[in-house]
Chain A
Amino acid sequence: AAGVIQSPRHLIKEKRETATLKCYPIPRHDTVYWYQQGPGQDPQFLISFYEKMQSDKGSIPDRFSAQQFSDYHSELNMSSLELGDSALYFCASSLGWQRSTSYEQYFGPGTRLTVT
């Protein structure tokens, strides 16, 4: 079965640079979530989109922005990178509430961002 695709898998940036992470949800899934997982930490919710509209916002820095496109893929844009942004970034997808009652989120393999 098709899974969530994330690219790139690894990314190395310097401080103050910009990074763009991409997420391709499971086919037919219309909801995308972004999570950040620091070393030894649990995943922390950043932001979510349903049908191309932002549906919820968590602890996402103002330096970060995201959007969902007409084909349901999503991009997380990170600017003015800081050392503390080094983490694993996961995208998850699910069927939206109007099409499902199970609310299950399926995670991608993640993008490992290293800021030097």
Chain B
Amino acid sequence: EDQVTQSPEALRLQEGESSSLNCSYTVSGLRGLFWYRQDPGKGPEFLFTLYSAGEEKEKERLKATLTKKESFLHITAPKPEDSATYLCAVQARGGSNYKLTFGKGTLLTVNP
């Protein structure tokens, strides 16, 4: 069974204080690892997809990296508007199965 574990559950940062969120995963064969941002009561907003170990992607203050066992979401000089829950999800390889298995998320709060 595919499993995704995110840490920490919650993270408080001061504006400008860089940090990283962790996503550890177990999957029979990884098709893709996805990062989403979710604001309260809203749908997850797509951020990145990573497909193979060593891959990195960047978007504004966010940078996602992937190894064979985990992914990191690095946040550089965060701003209060970066406050949200960050969800990690995996998609397993094989057949017509494209469902996402999510972790429980990291609630990020950035104080001004």
Contact = CB atoms under 8 A, between A and B. Distances in A.
Interface of A: 4, 31, 33, 35, 41-45, 48, 50, 55-56, 58, 88, 90, 92, 94, 97, 102-110, 112
Interface of B: 31-32, 34, 36, 41-46, 49, 87, 91, 96-105
Given A105-B34, A110-B42, A45 B49 contact: no
Contacts of B99: 33, 45, 48, 56, 58
B44 A107 contact: yes
A87 to B, nearest CB: 12
A94 B91 CA distance: 13
B102 A43 contact: yes
B44 A43 contact: yes
A35 B43 CA distance: 10
Contacts of B32: 103
B43 A45 contact: no
Contacts of A107: 36, 43-46
B96 A105 contact: no
A45 B100 contact: yes
Contacts of A106: 46
A97 B46 contact: no
Contacts of B105: 42
